[in-house]
Structures are given as structure tokens and as C-alpha cells.
Structure 1
Amino acid sequence: MRKIDRGPRSPSTLARTAGWGVSWLALVAAVPAMAQEAAAPEATAAVVATDEFVELDPITVVATRTAESWIDTLAGVTVRRSAQLDMLMPSRTADLFEGMPGTTAIQNANTSQTQINIRGLQDFGRVAVIVDGARQNFNQLGHAGAGGFFIEPGLIADVDVVRGPVSNIYGSGAIGGVVTMRTKDADDIIAPGKSWGVEATGEAAGNGFMGYGSVLGAARVGENVDLFIGGTYRDADNYHDGNGDVVPDSGFDTWTGIAKATFRPADFHEIKLTALNYDTQFTTSADAGAATSYSTQATNRTVTASWNYENPEDNLFDWRSSVYWNQVDQDQVKVTGSSNPITGAVGDPRSFVIDTVGFDANNTSRFSAAGWNSAITFGGDYFQDEIDNTDDYGFGEGYNPSGDRGVGGAFVQWKGNYSTWLEAIAALRYDAYSLNSDDGGTSGERVSPKLTLGVTPWSWLTLYGTYAEGYRAPTVTEALVSGPHPLPFNTGGTMFYFLPNPGLQAEVGKNKEVGINIKKDDLFVAGDKLRAKFNYYQNDVDNYIELVEFGSSTGTICPIPGQPNTCFPYNWGVPGYAQYQNVQEARLKGFEFEGTYDARKWFLGVAGQISEGEITAGPSAGQPLSSIQPDQVSTTLGFRFLDEKLTVAVRWTAVAAVKASDLPVNSVFEPTDSFNLVSVYAGYQPNENMLWRLSVENLLDEQYTQYENFLPSAGLTVKGALTVRFGGGEVASISDPLYVK
């Protein structure tokens, strides 16, 4: 059989991590020694420090579903591969995204749940998060936002991020962007030419002890079957902030089990089955001063099956498809707080469950005509959310109503290259959705276009411009949330009431973007490499959905917005009301940049963003958006010693303040001060089967709180880790990445 070459591969995690520390810094999209993924078939797992194996340009499909180098992609794209993520030494999922321009992972200290903010858009699926092909659609309404996912960072091998609604062919709703993650697989564990491998990692950190361990094993049965199985466990105590104070409820523990089986039943065909179970326990509350807290256990279960066909000699069919089931079950028990009808009494349980089933299928056909090399990709996707929330003692189910939502679409995209200097992309996507529950429902549909033009006047410089639209259906929570809330938006009140709005319309993002890609080798000295991306965007979101407060302390609201035939009389003792409404239009704009210069003996990386956003039409016009992240810049400097076996690096990240004037009236988020973080890293690989890592994070012990987090972040933290691997056996007739029986 012939094995599919699906682009970037991972012949040896240890080999790819050797010799460079910029990966840990997350500012450099890729650096030398990463892409032994592009190594010749006869390469071994050992590090080979020659230009033949140096690659700054990992392949991605996240923007167009066609394989291309990240630096050549005509969009704001950032990618991270296993080597970068391993050396990042992430303890929390949010660590995977540190330093990404225009991308912020929000993870409060007292939860294992992570939310992604891209260009000021977050919550309720505005950013599509996809793990091993499965959508992550869980949301629970709270002060820290709504919408998140659970994953063990130590299992992640690849992260690809595209910013803005430019990847509308990748799925419905992603008006902010798309995040795709791939968990580790057999190719990440088994060295080329071998039949089995085992990788074990142990990690420990101070500042409230954190311990992590993982064992991953894989076997290649003949030429056509790969098996992979593994588990992880992580336990963390409460940490100290920069002032030396213990941050309550910042500890957690998680364990993960994962299994995969890959079959190649015929030439160029690959079938992959994946099962993932993630379990975490933590104690959480609504905000830093909340008297009510909950003991929480969350389980994320994912099952996916994919069938891919890729034959380099077949221009008609390049097929990718998957079906998946994802379930998040979050069970909570109240452990502190007074008894009340809103949150119940100590010992009262509640649960939040979402089951998402879906599929994704697409095909690319290629042809040449009139000087153009063209690729036409067409396909469709669909997912169904079934939400079953239960709270028999409080209003948790009112804030997070049960119901179901079906969202799907189909697309066609043409991508053409004329000679070496012109590239054009044109796409149309059709979206439709329906939302149903016992309290009502809504539906909608739309066609969204995309057009991109890129010009390469010199081989080292590409300029591009894009106009793209995206369509996001409202969620069950936004449309149907209902019930009293014990804390006011208005000063002087003691309670307000959530009102449902089943008449919500879908949001439409209209993004304009211009960008520059720079790719230059041998700039100052032989073998050096410069990679850089710059882009400016403006995303105008029509029918933007925002939580709006209105109403007086007495009387009747008639009609209720979104329910023209319904009145709500004042009879609850409630002085105010809140409802998700379409506020006509929001505008988000900003500038992003990332790049690296690498001369092998040393490297320098810089990345950051400047962004702003406000409501531009409707009753709240002129109000800033509370989801806009502060401006920031990160700078990295690193050196390699001892034949590139030892790497040391330092990173400085400067984050601007968020002032009260930057926030809308009655924002649930607090202003934050500016802060500077300095971190250092050292990695040593004495041989191909062992890697030692050491990092010191927040070296200056700065006291700071990240915006949208209500608990302070950790002070000075020292981490150490050891990864070892072993394996053996020989697989006959194999050359990597393609082999023939």
C-alpha cells in the first residue's frame, strides 16, 4: 500500500525539539530544525544541522483547505507545531497561545475551561475551535464570558489559527476566526523506519507544586495499520501571585486517556479512528469577590472517524471527510454561599451537558488552463447541538436553557495562481440554521462571499487584499436565557431579570484586510532566514449580539424586544432587565505583526497587535466593546550552543493597560494595569532520545491580572521537565513520508 503524505509530519518529537528554543517563545511561527518534517526519506531521528533539513515554513490548510506554507498564506495565520508546543511547557491550555498576534486565550485561575478571543470576538462560537476535526461548542453563561473548551495541553501536537472570517469555508459561525488543534499520533512517537515507540514525560513546577506525567505508545502493524494509545495526569496546587499571596481555588487536577487507530485499506486511502476522554476537577466561582463557589467536575469526550484520499497523481480527487461526536458534561455542587432561590443551598447539584454531532466533507480538483494553475474545492459541513442542562434548586438552567440547534452549510472555492506573481481566491458559502426549544425558536440562512488577490512583485515580498464575510447563528443561550439575577447592572438595584429573545437575528461579519508577507533567505549571512507577516483589518459586524440592559423599576415592558406580541408586567420585585439584542453594528479594527530572523547561532522574534472596537450604530452607538484585548508586543532573543544541543532564550512581553474609558458603561469586566513579563528558557538534548527543559516564568515576580480574568496570575514560577523515548523494530519497505509495498 502507499501511505498518504498529509503535509507536515512528525517523525520525532525529540529530534524536532532539539537545537532551538524559539519554539517555546511562541512568537516565531517556525524555526530551523522544526521541519525534519520535510527531511529526505533516509533521514533518521537524529538532529542533522544542515540546511537540507532547515525549514521555516510549516504547511497549513486552515485558511483555504489547500496545503500551503503559512508564510505564503494570504491571511493572518499563525501555526505552531509539536516542537514549539513541547518547549512552551504549557501547564494550562491558555499557555499554548501565548504571544500569538490578535489571539488571546482567556482562562481564569479557578477553571480548566479556556475561551479564545480573536480580534475582539469571542463567546458563543464566534471563534470556531476544532480538535481532531470535532467542533467544541460548550458554553456556560457567566461573568467571565460564555463559550469554552477543555483539552490537555500536553497532548496537543499542532495548533493552527486563522484570524478573521476569511476561512468561511472551514465552518459556520467563525466571524472571529478558526482554531484547529491536532492531538499527538503514532507519527509523533515512532521514529522513521521503526515499528514501535514509547515516549514518557515528567514535569514539575514550583509556586504551588504542579506535577505532570504522560506515557504515549504507538505501534506500526505491517505497512498499513498504526495504533496509538496514551494517558496523562496533571495535578496543581494553589499558586502564589506576584505579591506572594495564595490565589484561592487556582489548583486543579486532570487526567486524559486517548486512543487512535489508522488503517490504509488501499493505495492513497487512510481511515482514522480517534477516541479521547478528558476529565478535570476544580473549584470555581463567578468572580473574585463571589461568596458562592462550586466544586466542579467536567468531562470532555470526543470520538471522530475520518476518511481521506490523496494521490499526488490524481488531479480530480483530493478527498477529506470526517464525522464526530463531542460531549461536554460539567457537574457542579455548591460548596460555599448562603441559601437563596438563585443558586440554591450548599450541597445542591446542577449540571450542564452539550452533545454535538457533525460531519465535514470536501474535495479539491486541480487543473491548468490559460496560464492559470487552479484548484477548486467544494464541500459541506453540519453540526447539531443538543443541550440538556439541569438545576432543580436554582436558576442555572434559566441562565443556560436547554434546547437544540442545527447549523450547516456548503461552499465552493476557486484558488488560482498565474505564473509566480499573481494569486486569486474566490469563494461562496451558503449557511443555514434552526434553533428550537420548549420556549420558542428561530432560523435563518445566507450566502457569504470571499475574494482575495495577492501580488508577488519580487520573490521575497507578497502583498494581498481580502474582502470576506461570515455568518454566525445565535445560540440557544443568547436567544432563550431567562430568570432573575441577584447582582445588578444598575447601581442602587439588588436584582435584574434576564428576558428571552427568540427573534434574534444572526450576526454577519464583513472583513476588509490588507497584508504583507516577507520571506527572505541569505539576507545578511549565508543560511540566515527572515520571515514576517503584517496585516491591517477592519471587521464590520451587522446585527451584532450584545447583552443590553433596559426597563424601569415599575410598570410593564410591552412589547418585549424580539417578541412583538408579548408584554412582561412587573411582578417579580425586579428593578431592571437584561436581554441579548441585535445592536445593529459593531466595528473592530487593528494591526497585527509577527516575524523572526534566524541566523542559526542566534535568533530574534517580535510579535504583537494594536486593536480597538466599538458599537457604531444603534442605541449603544459610541460605546466601546468590552471584549477588545489590550495592545501588546513580545520580543524574543535566543542563542544556540554546543552544536545546537543547548538553547537559551529570553522573552519580554509588554501588555498595555485597560482603562475605565476603554470599557462600556456597566461592563462586567474590571480595568487592568499594564504589566511586563520576563521569562527565560533553557533546553538541552544530549542525544536523540532525551530532552531536558527548564524555564523560569515571570522572572521579575510581577503582580498582574490579565484582562477578563478576575484572579491575579502566577508570580515567579520555575518549571523543569524530562522527556525520554525509546523504540525499535524494523518496518520493511518503508521510506518516509511515502512508502510502497
Structure 2
Amino acid sequence: MANGARSARALLVGVSAFAVGVCCSSAGFAQQGEVTQATQSAKQSSAKRKKRQQVAQVVPAQALNANAQVQGSTQSLDTITVAATKTEERAVDALAPVSVVTLEQIQGIQPKRLGDVLYAVPGVSLQDRGDDPATSVNIRGLQDFGRVAVVVDGARQNYQRTAHSANGQFFLDPELVGGVDVVRGPTANIYGSGAIGGVVSFRTKDIDDVVRPGERWGTEWGVMGGTNNMRGMVSGFGGVRVNPNVDLFAGGSWTAQSNYKDGMGVTVENSANKTGSAIAKATVRPADGHEIKLGGIFQDFDYDVGQPRRALGLPFSQPGTAGNGTSIYATNVKNYQTSLGWKYQRPEDKLFDWDAKIYWNRTESDQTKIAHTSTAPAFGTACALRGLPGNAISGCIGDSRSYVIDTLGFDLHNTSRFEHGDWRHAVTYGGDLFQDDVKTTDFSGNSNATTPGGRRTVSGAFAQWKVGYANWFDLVSAVRYDNYHLSSGAISTDGDRFSPKVTLALLPTHVVTPYVSYAEGYRAPSITETLVDGSHVASGPGQGDTSRCADGSRGFFCFLPNPNLRPEVGKNKEFGINVKKNDLFTAGDSVRAKFNVFRNDVSDYIDGVQFAGPPVPNLYFQYQNIAHARIEGFEAETFYDANRWFVGVSATFQRGENTQTGIGLVTVQPRKITTTAGVRLLENQLVIAMQWTSVEANTKIPVTYLASTSYDLLNAYITYKPHRDVTVNFSVDNILNEYYRPYAVPRAADFTSSQNDVLWASAAPGRVFKLGARFHFGGA
């Protein structure tokens, strides 16, 4: 009842704020004119339609370039995106649940870590640990093993290792990010294989973000400091237009933070980390309409992962071995990425409009064990023979292990357009391929078994036809073919499938555009899901190590491989409404909104299953196909801008369950409502905004998990621009200093105690004050 009342209050307040904003607009400056209505003459309709298409592709300059300095100064849903259909369109016009996070929004919130950038996007949640700077994205309750396709400048991010964390992570310094596109659900199946949950596409900074129109060169320097306990960031980016056909861009950042405290004032151990990043790009335009871009990214993350024993008397501490944490590893992660892209686009060329890219992405994690759960070595192990704390599962103190994944891939597509009468057509077709090569090295532990090495090749091709008739309807139909092959040692498996998509929208150029969509997605099993093997460590001899595994090791339970796993197939039904209107009450005001109702039926859903089996009392863990899982819900994203002030609400209501057992899916976040409101003062030089997020915990979950907490998060953001080249940001995160854990925590094998390291490390920071500044220098 308390959770339901909390969500009801949050929704009521959010909707009321949005309604008051829409109904009580104050005067503002004129923005882009509203698309005109159709005339009754077919010839006039065609001419006006061409004009509308040109207007629709005009993006407010500050949304994408170096003028983007003041938070909340534009409608983010007006930003051009290609994430849903691989053709340019405004997010508010996309016939799909698409959200955009702009550079100005990112700079306004001064993110502590990458997840902060996505926090307010409807349908999106995160499963991040405080002692690990990696990010794991959940869309509509689906995450891990590529269910959410994460791409950075078009390159897939497929890093994964089996640990007490999400099984699908990536590393990206938020200071490198220039914008994000998010597509929810498999409606973006043409974007790449496996994305039955959705797509998150990051654009890194480029020359347009630091060199303003009219400048030949420009630089931007940033600095930020914060409390709880200490955090700091410095960055510098610069670009030069050598001539009209050659651009050069480079930059980087350095970030450091110490251990933070959660909302109860308890230090989250090993939440300190240091990050260094660098980026460089060269762009050449060898001929009219052609653009070739070579880019490279390097990132370095230093941190310790794991939780030591928590002292008695602190929250969630337990006596005896139940109070132990986990082994601790000094960790260095290096990420390398390089890509070469070739685009061609000329307005008069209707036959060719292509985008081709080849990329290589490597993430390598090197770890050295620096602490064990006990000071005594496990009896009868190699560690005991060496007189070192440790065991055969996690290794000995001082020993190293490494995880390396190389992803090599390409993506290419072309769009051909033609018209006849009031009919307009756009045919997009292309293909993509990526290969993951996983190598795991562990000299004294069994990471080789729990994160097995191997090679997976995934490829696909698609064709999409978008047809529109006058101002009456748009129809998008597509089909994608996917193929995969997975191999490791003597085991190999493969499969393929055709996945269709169809979307119908009525009155696409009007204020209100309703549409219906059906889309299927296909996800191949990962190497780990198929081949994971070995035992889960016990804290010591006789401490629950009752399961003997096939390789002779003992532990709480045994991992079992499953080479017979079938791919997952998502079948998503969606009804959406897009709303866009300028000059609604006064000249210059604007409202943008997207509403979606969806149901995603996933057949052969893959989930981890724990069960007892012979020889008794053995326990086993194996990834298995659940016959059917269903996730359904409602999403809303609204924003009203009256220039002098603005208000927006994003809301998510969803539920997911195993339809055979009726038990809920642990990764589904049932309700999240975020309300943002602000004012602009001093001729838009000063922007003050408040953001309130109310989240309800998912309690309909298996007994093997401890539910997350329900919570209310209140943040404040102030942006002041005393000079066109200087921007000062001040923000306060978690003003109420609330303790919260945003996701469920696995329980130990006995189902009675929590997996303590996750319980402690999943707690988010308490109150944080941040002060930052950015400086621009440039010239002709």
C-alpha cells in the first residue's frame, strides 16, 4: 500500500505539474513554426509536403553543436535521430519509442558516472555497482548478454564476465559523450542482432561540439569538483577546420573520486576509482556529398572491486561467515576503439544515401587478487601449499587473472527514395556483422570456466520500405535476417531466423499522430550462457561446499553448461501517440510528447535456474530456456516549454513474468516517474531546475532475490552563463540524502542470507554537491 500510494502521489504531482504548465503558459520567444496542415489540392499538398520535410530536418543549432551551453534551452525530442529506422527524422516524429539525451542536458547534470546520463529516460534502469565503474543498461526489464544493443559511434560494446554483477557491461567516460539515442523494444531490429530489449546509441564529441559556426578553430575546457567524499574532473577538447574539406578533433579527460557514503552515512568500500580517456577524429570530404571519418578512443580505468567484511554495528553487517564480503581485486581496465566510416548524401541524389562503417573494439581487464574472505588458506589447495590465503575458485593472494574481448564488425546501409503523385517511398537496405573473441586467463582460480573463452559470429541483413500517402498515413515494413555461429573447443552451435516489422501511422504531419507497430527480434545465446562450467566458491572447507562438480572442485553449487540453448525471440506489440505543437497558448511556447503502450512476448527466454540434483545434496545453476516470458507496460515522455519556464514528466509502468509459473522477472522495474521543472532568468543566462524521481520496488520476484528499495530522489541543477564563453554549473544530487538500492540483490545459496557484496555495493551515493565550469576559446 505504501509503495502504491507513493507512486500514485508521484504520478499525480508529475501530471499536475505538466498540466499546469500546458494550461498556464507565459510569453516566450518564437521557435520553429508548426507544420502546416494539408490543403485540399493534391498539387498544393505535394509542394507543402516537400517544404515540411525540409523544415522537419532543421535542428536547433544549440542541440548539436558548440552553442549547446544552457541546460533545458531546447526540446530534446526535436533532435534528429537515426536510431529507429536508420533514416533521419526528429525523435518526436519517429514511429517508435525513441528518446534523445542532448549534450546540453549531459553538461547540465554533471554526471558522476555514465548511468546518470540515462537516469530520466522512460523505460530505462541501471544495474551498476558502486565498486565498479562499468555500466549495465536495462530497457523494459531486459538486460544482459546483448539484449540491449549498446553502440558507441556505431561500434558494438559486448564486454561481459561472470561475477556478482550484471552479465553485460561496458566502459565509457561520460565526459566523452556528445549525445545519446535510446530506442525501447525490438522495433529497432534493423539496427542490429540481439536487441530484443532495445538500442542505446552513444555519439561521442566531435568538432561541432567545440567549434562554433563562423569559427575555424575552437577549444572547450572543463573542470568539476564535488563532495561525498571527494571527486574531481578536468577535460579539454579542441578542433580545427583545416579547410572546408578537412577537420581535425582531439581531447580527453581525467576523473578521480574517493570512496563515497550511501544515504545512511556508511562508506561503500572500494567505490574510489580513477579514469583517464582520450579521443581523436579526422574527417575528410573528398568530393561533394562524401565524408570519411577515422576515429579512435582510448580509456583507462583503475579501481579495486570487491567488498571486505563489514564491521559489526554497521547496517547490514552479520556475525560469522555470513558477514563476509568477497575477495578483492586490484583492477585495471583498458578500452580501445577505432572506427572508419564513409557517408554519402546529396539532396538531389535519390538513389544513394549510404552510411558504411567498420570498427574494432577491445576491452581488457587485468586483475590481481589483493584480499581474501579469510586470512587462512583453504586446506588442500595450491594456495595452502604456498602458504597464501585463497582457494581453487577465486585464486591465491597476489595471483592475477585477465578477461579480454575483441569485437570486430561492420555495418552498412543505403536508402533510395522516389515519389509519384502523392506517394513517397524510402527503401533502406543493408547488413551488419560482428565477431566476439573472448579470452580468459586465470592461473590459480577458475574464471576460465565461469567466463569461458570462445568465439561468436553474428551477422544479419535487412530491408525496410517506408511509404507515405499525402498527409494521411505512413507505413513502415521491414524484415531482418539473422545468423549466428558459436564455438569453443569441441562445442559449437548455430542458428538463423527472419524477423518482420510493420508500423502504421495516421496523420503523420498533424499535431497528434497515432500509430501501431508489430516487431520481432532475435537474440543468439552468448558464450557464457552456453558454456559456463565449474563450481561457485565456498568461504572455506566445510562452509557450505557440499556440491561436488564434474571437474572435481567443490562449492556452494555447480555451474552446468547448456550447448542446447535455443535463441530468444521477442514479439512486441505497440500502440503509440506522438504530439507536437508550437504556439499552443502564446507565441513561442511548445509541447512535445510521446506515449506508448506495449507488450513484448519473449519465447525461449533464457534465465538462470538453480536446482538440486544427483548426487545428493548437489546444487546446480544452469542457463535454460523458459517457454515464455511476457513484459508489458506504459511509457510517457512529455515536455512543455514556455521559454521563461519549462516542465516535463517521464513515466514508466510495467510488469513482467514467467507466464508458466506466474513469478515476476527480477529485472523489471515496475514504476518510475520523473518530473523536471525549471525557470530561465536574466535573459536565459540563468537556468534553475529541480528533478524529482519516484521509484517503486519490484517485490514480485523469486525467493532467490532480495527486493530493491522504493525511493524518492530529489536533485537540483543551476546553470549560469555570465559570458558567452563561460558556463558555470552547480548541482545537488539526492538532496534528501536517501538510502536506496535500485535493483534486486541475489541471495546466497541457502536463500536466507543476502549476497553481501552486492547488497553493500549496490547502494547509491547519498547527498552530493557538485560545482563545475566550462570555458570556450575559439577564433577565425
TM bin (shorter chain): 0.7 to 0.9
- d(CA) in 1 for partners of 2:662, 2:217: 61
CA-to-aligned-CA distance 1:273-298 (integer Å, 9 cap, x gap): 00100110111127985231111111
Q: Where does residue 252 of structure 2 map in the other structure? A: 231
The match for 1:317 among 352, 355, 379 is 352
Residues 1:592 and 2:635 aligned together? yes
Residue 583 of structure 1: how far off its partner (Å):
1.3
Q: Cα distance, 1:222 vs. partner? A: 1.1
Give 2:371's aligned amino acid.
Answer: T
Query: Which runs of at least 4 in structure 1 moved beyond 4 Å after TM superposition?
Result: 31-37, 43-49, 52-56, 286-289, 487-494
Q: Say whether residues 1:581 and 2:624 are aligned partners.
A: yes
Output one character per residue of 1:246-291: Cα deviation in whole Å (capped at 9) or x when no partner. Answer: 2111111100011100000111100000010011011112798523
The answer to whether structure 1 residue 328 and structure 2 residue 328 are counterparts is no
Output the CA distance in 2 between the equivalents of 1:238 and 1:457.
51
- Give me the TM-score of the superposition, normalised by structure 1: 0.87
Q: Is the partner of 1:71 in helix, strand or coil?
A: helix
TM alignment of 1:150-549, pairs within 5 A: 150-285=171-306, 290-337=325-372, 338=374, 339-369=390-420, 371-456=422-507, 459-486=510-537, 495-549=556-610
Deviations 1:95-151 (A, max 9, x none): 110111001132210001101100000000000000011100001112322011000
SS of equivalent residue, structure 1 residue 625: coil
SS in structure 2 of the partner of residue 250 of structure 1: coil
Q: 1:693, 1:87 → 2: CA distance? A: 7
Given the alignment of the two structures, is residue 115 of structure 1 paired with residue 136 of structure 2, yes or no? Answer: yes
Letter paired with 1:462: T
Following the alignment from structure 1 to structure 2, what is the Cα–Cα distance between the partners of residues 421 and 597?
27
Q: Offset at 1:218?
A: 0.8
Give the one of 701, 712, 716 matched to 1:663: 701
1:511 maps to a residue whose letter is N
* Residue 92 of structure 1: aligned partner: 113
Q: Distance in 1 between matches of 2:226 and 2:450?
A: 38
Cα deviation 1:142-169 (Å, max 9, x = unaligned): 2322011000001100100000000111
Distance 1:279 1:438 in 2: 32
Residue 96 to residue 421, structure 1, CA distance change in 2 (3 Å): same
CA distance in 1, matches of 2:278, 2:272: 21
Q: Is the 8 A contact 1:490 1:666 kept in 2?
A: no
CA distance in 2, matches of 1:32, 1:68: 24
TM-score, normalization by structure 2: 0.83
Q: Is the 8 A contact 1:144 1:286 kept in 2?
A: no
Q: Take 1:380 and 1:475, find their aligned partners in 2: how far apart are those partners?
A: 21
**2 CA distance for matches of 1:457 and 1:265?**
37
* Aligned amino acid, residue 643 of structure 1: E
Q: Secondary structure at the match of 2:562?
A: coil
Match of 2:686 in 1: 646
Structure 2 match to 1:57: 78
* CA shift in 2, pair 1:490/1:426, >3 Å: farther
Specify whether residues 457 and 357 from structure 1 end up closer, same or farther in structure 2 by C-alpha distance, changes over 3 A only: closer
Give the Cα–Cα distance (whole angstroms) in 1 for the partners of residues 606 and 614 of structure 2. Answer: 25
In structure 1, runs of 5+ residues without a counterpart are 1-21, 23-30, 556-573, 730-741
Q: Tell me, yes or no, if the aligned pair for 2:114 and 2:135 is still in contact at 8 Å.
A: yes
1:191: Cα distance to partner? 1.3
Question: For 1:579-728, what aligned pairs fall within 5 Å after superposition?
Answer: 579-617=622-660, 621-659=661-699, 662-667=700-705, 670-708=706-744, 710=759, 711=761, 712-728=763-779
Q: Secondary structure at the match of 1:479?
A: helix
- Is the alpha carbon distance of 1:33 and 1:223 closer, same or farther for their aligned partners in structure 2, counting shifts above 3 Å? farther
- Distance in 1, Cα, partners of 2:307 & 2:662: 29
Give the C-alpha shift of residue 524 in structure 1: 2.1
* Residue identity matched to 2:464: Q
> Structure 2: which amino acid aligns with 1:501?
N
Measured after TM superposition, the shift of residue 490 of structure 1 is: 10
Change (3 A) 1:501 1:218: same
- How far 1:34 moved relative to its partner? 11
Please state which structure has a larger fraction of its residues in helix.
2
SS of the equivalent of 2:396 reads coil
Give unmatched runs, 5+ long, in structure 2: 1-17, 19-27, 33-56, 311-323, 375-389, 548-554, 745-757
Tell me how far 1:722 sits from its aligned partner.
0.5
**Percent of aligned positions that are identical:** 45
For residue 436 of structure 2, give the secondary structure of its aligned residue in structure 1.
strand
Q: How big is the shift at 1:33?
A: 11
Which position in structure 2 is the counterpart of 1:146?
A: 167
The amino acid that maps onto 2:173 is E
How far, CA to CA, are the matches of 2:229 and 2:69 in structure 1? 39
Aligned partner of 1:534: which letter? F
Q: CA deviation at 1:551?
A: 3.4
Distance 1:685-1:473 versus aligned 2 partners, 3 A rule? same
Kept in 2, the 8 Å contact 1:645–1:685? The answer is yes
C-alpha change, 1:728 and 1:387, in structure 2 (3 Å) is: same
Question: Could you give the per-residue CA deviations for residues 575-606 of structure 1, whole angstroms, max 9, x where no partner exists?
Answer: 11111111111111111111011111111110
Give 3-state SS (helix, strand or coil) of 2:659's partner: strand
> Which deviates more, 118-127 or 711-720?
711-720
**Separation in 2 of the partners of 1:576 and 1:46?**
59
CA distance in structure 1 between the partners assigned to 2:269 and 2:518 by the alignment:
46
Query: Judging changes above 3 Å, is the alpha-carbon distance between structure 1 residues 39 and 578 closer, same or farther for their aligned structure 2 residues?
Result: closer
Shift of 1:458: 7.8
Going from structure 1 to structure 2, the CA distance change for 1:517 and 1:717 (only over 3 Å counts) comes to same
CA shift, 1:665, in A, is 3.2
Cα 1:165–1:48 change in 2 (3 A) is closer
- DSSP-derived class of the 2:736 partner: coil
Instruction: Note the C-alpha offset of 1:210.
Output: 0.4
Distance 2:458 2:602 in 1: 19
- What is the identity, as a one-letter code, of the residue corresponding to 1:650? M
Alpha-carbon distance between aligned partners in 1 of 2:732 and 2:131, rounded to the nearest angstrom: 22
Q: CA deviation at 1:520?
A: 1.5
Q: Distance in 2 between matches of 1:34 and 1:651?
A: 25
The amino acid across from 2:737 in the alignment is D
